[in-house]
Amino acid sequence: MAATTTNPTFAAIPTSTSTSTKTQKPHSLPSSISFSIALPKRLRITSSLQNLKPSPPSATKTRTHSPLPTIDTDKPFVSRFAPDEPRKGCDVLVEALEREGVTNVFAYPGGASMEIHQALTRSNQIRNVLPRHEQGGVFAAEGYARATGRVGVCIATSGPGATNLVSGLADSLLDSVPIVAITGQVPRRMIGTDAFQETPIVEVTRSITKHNYLVLDVEDIPRIVKEAFFLANSGRPGPVLIDVPKDIQQQLVVPNWGQPMKLPGYLSRLPKLPNEGHLDQIVRLISESKKPVLYVGGGCLNSSEELKEFVGLTGIPVASTLMGLGSYPCSDALSLHMLGMHGTVYANYAVDQADLLLAFGVRFDDRVTGKLEAFASRAKIVHIDIDSAEIGKNKLPHVSICADMKVALQGMNKILESSKGKLKLDFSAWREDLNEQKKKYPLNFKTFGDAIPPQYAIQVLDELTNGNAIISTGVGQHQMWAAQFYKYNRPRQWLTSGGLGAMGFGLPAAIGAAVAQPDAVVVDIDGDGSFIMNVQELATIRVENLPVKILLLNNQHLGMVVQWEDRFYKANRAHTYLGNPSKASEIFPDMLKFAEACEIPAARVTKVSELRAAIQKMLDTPGPYLLDVIVPHQEHVLPMIPSGAAFKDTITEGDGRRHIFYLEFTCSYGFTKVISPLKVT
């Protein structure tokens, strides 16, 4: 029997349990229970891993990306066991991971998962990177997946170990990141008895996973693992959880590796090939428009080449979401960079003035749209996404296609190529208008004496790495500045927690990226608030000798919350100072001592004149390095469109040096309407 979700928001996918000819066990539980959420997923229809090699250029000097460790799938898998040799369930689980091509996992042991760890020590293929906290492990698995497009794997024990994965699972669901999380569970006979370290993690994670399993028959492990990897990386990617009771891990079995997947409901809902007539209709709308704009998101990360070809054929300017950065080169003349709350004025202007909005691989997130009624109000909207649930959810399109973005772009490119002589696409006047906006409202910042502008620190990093580093971030002001001032020219070099906005993401995500791309320059651009949430992962970096560079923008405050306090709460500080009030003139805590405790080289820079040399030294130092960059807490991320407001309400001036707040009222739609700015010295 298959259990169904009790959340009315989601529909359960029916799955049948496997059959067996062996004698029924004494317990009365069914052989397996699988929980799933019917969310058609974005980015890829196939679970194939081909063509996912990272782009070759690297960061500084002559470094190049090394290829990912791969398993030759043309050769038959050679097991450590004889075909008819019984082995423990934990060994079956590890071999199932090996058969999926897994070479790295991020696993923290405990009582209910130690059998799995014992089995990992018997694997010659899988390396375990030991995090110092389960949240660090799941964020590292995400970093691995985001940097490669492959499934990241993390493992935790039952109870608190499993619940420590929750933020990472929610984050990967919102950002469409393929991970498989494996948790130990108390023995089957103890489930439901409130046993030591028992948590019903399947129930806890039901609404924040794409699919999850409670394994109740050891013979189901090969099928379940195969399904989990297929589900995680097909359609719109997402997290899948497998909960394995300890007695299942210990039980002897001769596995059947030929079991077929049982996902009829899921497979039937995967998008089909796009209708050529619909693609023709989109091309016709492009030919009729005068001011078209591309609005691209994370759904385009696997179709970057097709997107570049499409832009080359049409000459349409490209605005990217936070998640879509790198899908189209930010340094290209047709790039409008990021749109949305902290997007460029010219990107938001383009969407506001457009007569055709091509929304590719996006979900019309509130941080992009602001006031929905005012977003792209002059435009016809074309929405293509692999997730049918996203189409029309927030903004009703004029034309919509539920399809893989790569396939849809290939189809449109074919039509555009064949129509070159007939189509007269000339958007030069529109592009000139946008170029004027770029000149009028460039991204900029002010300098104040010797103080280091945080934006400048990121700009220098971009210059010294030639824009080739893999960048991870925490969440807050530094995240937005990293999105604005580092120019991402290829997909999967930008790793950030977008939908969930999980502080503490940057450092462990950098670990995952460094494991996946050992020869790449990986830089965690972090804030002091985010960094300290997973500071324990410095130990992992040191022990694994991972060359992660940490550019810490330290302003002693929760910067983004301080900015909102300045703007909307009359600069009233409500627990946003992270230093020691009794020693306000000192840097607290001393981040250099954290690094010293973990034997990681570190330095602090306080003057703008010393910044470039300090960053160069960080990049030139072999192995990990922490650079503590002291920046003013009064800086604001600009431009800014207040939450629920429209393009016309864009803020482009001001910071915390002169406290700025706004008269507000809440309208019937629930958003804050800005009336007029007031300055208070």
Contact 492, 149 (CB under 8 A): yes
Q: In the structure encoding, which two tokens stand for residue 152, read together?
A: 């990241």
Question: Which of 138, 250, 109, 269 is closest to 205 using CA atoms?
Answer: 138
C-alpha dist (Å) from residue 79 to 98, 122, 410: 9, 12, 40
Cα–Cα dist 154/602, whole Å: 29
- SS3 sequence of 23-53: CCCCCCCCCEEEEECCCCCCCECCCCCCCCC
CA separation, residue 224 to residues 32, 218, 244, 254, 260 (Å) = 9, 10, 11, 16, 10
Amino acid present at 163: T
Can you tell me the distance from the alpha carbon of 126 to that of 143, in angstroms, rounded to the nearest whole number?
Answer: 18
If you ran DSSP here, which 8-state letter would residue 518 be given? T
Residue with tokens 């130690």: 114
Cβ contacts of 619-623, under 8 Å, gap ≥ 24: 619/59, 619/60, 619/464, 619/465, 619/521, 619/549, 620/60, 622/547, 623/545, 623/546, 623/547
**Longest CA pairwise span in the chain (Å):** 81
Q: Which of 41, 88, 246, 371 is catalytic?
A: 246
What is the amino acid identity at position 334? Answer: L
Separation CA 496–CA 476 (nearest Å): 11
The one-character DSSP state at 179 is: E
The DSSP bridge partners found for residue 156 are 183
Structural contact between residues 528 and 475, judged by C-beta atoms closer than 8 angstroms: no
* Token representation of residue 364: 């019309």
Whether 309 sits among the annotated catalytic residues: the reply is no
Burial of 565 (0-12, 13-18, 19+ CB in 10 A): buried
Is residue 58 classed as helix, strand or coil in its secondary structure? coil
* 3-state SS, residue 455: helix
> Alpha-carbon distance 426 to 560, whole Å?
41
Measure Cα distances from 391 to 284, 297, 325, 558 in Å: 21, 14, 21, 35
> Active site residue: 25, 118, 125, 197, which one?
197
Q: Give the number of other CB atoms < 10 A from CB of residue 228.
A: 29
In the residue annotation, 596 being an active-site residue is answered as: no
Does 560 qualify as catalytic in the annotation? yes
b/e per residue 618-635 (b: at least 16 CB within 10 A): bbebeebbbbbbbbbbbb
Q: Six-digit token pair at 231? A: 């589900």
Interacting residues of 284 by C-beta distance below 8 A, sequence separation 6+:
none
Residue 230 contacts residue 242 (beta carbons within 8 Å): no
Active site residue 1: no
Specify whether 537 is catalytic: no
CA dihedral 660, 666, 669, 674 (to 10 degrees): -30
Active site residues: 134, 196-197, 246, 560
